[in-house]
Amino acid sequence: MGGHFVNDRVEPLDHMYVGSDPKSKKILFQFDTAPTISSNTVRIRVMGALVPTINDQQVSVKQKIINYTTTNGQPYKLSNIWLYRKYDTELNNNDRVPVYISSINPITKLPQGLYFKNADTPYRLDFLFDVDGGPKGWDALPYDSDMSDFVGKNTTGHQADENILAGVDSTIKMVWPASQIGDLDFGKSSPLFGYQTGTSAAIAPTILANDKKLKYVHDPGETSLPSINLEGKANSTNSNVNNIKLYYLIDQTKIPTDVAQRKPLDQGSIDFTSNDHGIDKWINFNSSISDPNDLKILATPNSSGHTIYVYGIDNEGEQSNLETINVLPNIKVTIHYVNESGEKIAPDQSMLGAEGDSYNLESSNYLPKTIVARDGKYKLADTNPNFPNLTGSFSKDLSEIKIIYQKHGTLAITQVPQLDFGRILLVARNASLLPLVKQINKLEVIDSTGDPVDWKLLMSTTPFYLVNNSVPNQSPTRELDNLLKYKITDNDVKTITNYDQEIGRYSNLPSRASTTSGETVTTDFQKIWWSQSDPNQQIEGPMFQDPNNLEVREGKYRCTVTWTLENVLE
Compute the distance between CA of residue 174 and CA of residue 83 in angstroms, rounded to an integer. Answer: 9
**N residues, the chain:** 570
Q: Are strands 330-339 and 400-407 parallel, antiparallel or unpaired?
A: parallel
Which of left, alpha, beta for 39 (phi over 0: left; psi -120 to 50: alpha)?
A: left
Mean local confidence (pLDDT), 527-552? 88
Determine contact, residues 46/15, Cβ cutoff 8 Å. no
Tell me which range, 8-22, 148-162, 208-222, 443-457, is most confidently predicted by mean pLDDT: 208-222
Residues 6 or more apart from 437 whose CB is under 8 A from it? 420, 421, 422
Residues 6 or more apart from 565 whose CB is under 8 A from it? 375, 411, 412, 413, 445, 455, 456, 457, 458
Give 40-72 pLDDT, tens digit per residue: 788 999 999 998 877 677 889 999 999 999 888
pLDDT at position 120: 60
pLDDT-derived band at 3 (thresholds 50, 70, 90) equals: very low
Q: How many CB atoms lie within 10 A of CB 422?
A: 10
In 3D space, the residue among 487, 518, 411 whose CA is nearest the CA of residue 456 turns out to be: 411
Q: Is the model's pLDDT at 9 over the cut of 50?
A: no
Give 150-206 pLDDT, tens digit per residue: 777 766 678 777 888 888 999 999 999 988 988 999 999 999 999 998 877 667 888
Compute the distance between CA of residue 293 and CA of residue 391 in angstroms, rounded to an integer. Answer: 34
Determine contact, residues 351/333, Cβ cutoff 8 Å. yes
Residues 6 or more apart from 258 whose CB is under 8 A from it? none
Compute the distance between CA of residue 34 and CA of residue 1 in angstroms, rounded to an integer. Answer: 11
**CA dist 177 to 49, 132, 155, 184, 441, Å?**
21, 15, 17, 14, 89
Residues 6 or more apart from 452 whose CB is under 8 A from it? 506, 521
Mean local confidence (pLDDT), 385-413? 82
pLDDT at position 478: 62
**Model pTM?**
0.56
pLDDT at position 387: 59
Residues 6 or more apart from 469 whose CB is under 8 A from it? 477, 553, 555
Instruction: Identify the helix (H) or strand (E) that includes residue 123.
Output: strand 123-128
Which of left, alpha, beta for 67 (phi over 0: left; psi -120 to 50: alpha)?
A: beta
Which of left, alpha, beta for 38 (phi over 0: left; psi -120 to 50: alpha)?
A: left
Render the burial of 345-367: b for 16+ CB within 10 Å, e for the rest: bbeebebbbbbeeebebeeeebb
Q: Of 134-148, 329-343, 369-383, which gets the smallest average pLDDT?
A: 369-383
Instruction: Identify the helix (H) or strand (E) that includes residue 78.
Output: strand 78-81
pLDDT at position 14: 57
